[in-house]
Structure 1
Amino acid sequence: MTAEGEGPDAATCSSAPRTCRPVRHPDSTRAMILEAAIQEFAAKGLAGARVDAIALRSKTNKRMLYHFFGDKTGLYIAVLEAVVTHVTSSMRGLNLANRDPVDGIRALVLHNWHYLLAHPEFVSLLAGENLLKGEYSKRSNMISSLHGPVFAKIENLLQRGAAQGVFREGISPTTVYMTYAGLGFFYISNRHTVETNLNPDVWTCGSIEAWGEHIVAVTLAFLRTGANSTSV
């Protein structure tokens, strides 16, 4: 270790006369590569994304990328795992177990809607993976299990709502999820064609807020007792 004012520790530097390089923690390097890859794959898809561009964006090199992820496919699968982990973990602060069932569904639906609005890269990656027929999600050892806690929270709301007589019985959490997630996903993924062909104001603040309330209304109408709908 050098004394104060003598410059950086020699262990962190290459031999003179090269300039010193800052030491980067491995976890930090991996996270930076992953974040750069999320943006690259979201913008260009698996086929169009370039490892060189990811290395440049993350201010690292391909050697480190291959060290952490093996190859481009491994990195893409890690990206899918990262974004699904992020969206599912974002629900933790909703405290759904202690909410009234109707209020809980409303909070869940609006949280999902606002998340999709704030993370268009998630929408792009999910759309791209579906074009690939979910091939790489199937290769992941963790993605399918990440949805379990989400469905458990929905199931808890449904059971408590049915016990209180406000929700119908026998509704699948998967159906509820597909209802609110699908309505939000379609709006964002098809924004440009809807804006061009159907509603030029689709992306105004008023329209976005109104659509969120529409998703809530549709979901609750499906759940409420007396609804003329077949459980799925």
Structure 2
Amino acid sequence: MTALIGYCFEDGAFLAADTQRILNKPGSSNYWAHFEVSKISKLYENIGFATCGVPVDEAKLSLQMKIKPESTKNEVTTLACKIYGDLLKPVSDIETNLVIFGTDNENGCGFIRRLEWDSAKKEFEIEDYKMGSFFADGFIPLNYEMYAESNLKKAFAPRINGLQLDYWAELMLADIVNWASSNDIVEEYGVNPVDFPIDCLVFRKHKTPFYKRVLKPSPMLSEYIQSKFIEDNFTLKKKPSSQ
């Protein structure tokens, strides 16, 4: 299972994901193993990539090898659709979504693009997220927007006049993990299908100023991200509005 959350802003994009992967015993629906993986990749200096649903690792490796420094988001999209589509078409029913995000080489604007595989049509449906909008996909509650709005207020730091995206992501994942634990989902899978630590990746054209971040540690959150950055690229100076 995968939980992806992100934010698209004027000159870049941010994406975070849990790192939990669970496997079911071959030939059965019984889940028997779980381990930590990275679900977000840097394709090149300005473009990132993530998968949600059934992973197709050989397609991901092929995409990473064929991407070029000058590739635009449309070129990456076409390449991803071709590579993944060739592997998914023979399968009758499979759930795989792709996420391409970063700063576009054509105009320098931030973007998040979701590619949802349609097993009936044997093609990807493409959805773009506009600047100033939040993104979510995968194993998340239906009332995701409620959590996003609430955590926005907690992650906005008046002293630096900015939204701390990495801290927002940790708050969001904490809520998602708790939501999964309280809905008999752990009992169904034998383990929580989403869990800490989380991966965060941000692409942006301009870097934010240097400052020393001081956050109050929370026992509900991991220690992988908090208070670790000297050069902070995860804080937006303007408080965004949700989609």
Q: Which has the higher strand share?
A: 2
Larger radius of gyration: 1
Q: Which category describes the TM-score, using the shorter chain as reference length? A: under 0.3
TM-score by length of 2: 0.23
TM-score by length of 1: 0.24
Asked which structure has the greater RCO (Cα within 8 Å, sep 6+), the reply is 2
Q: Which has the higher helix share?
A: 1
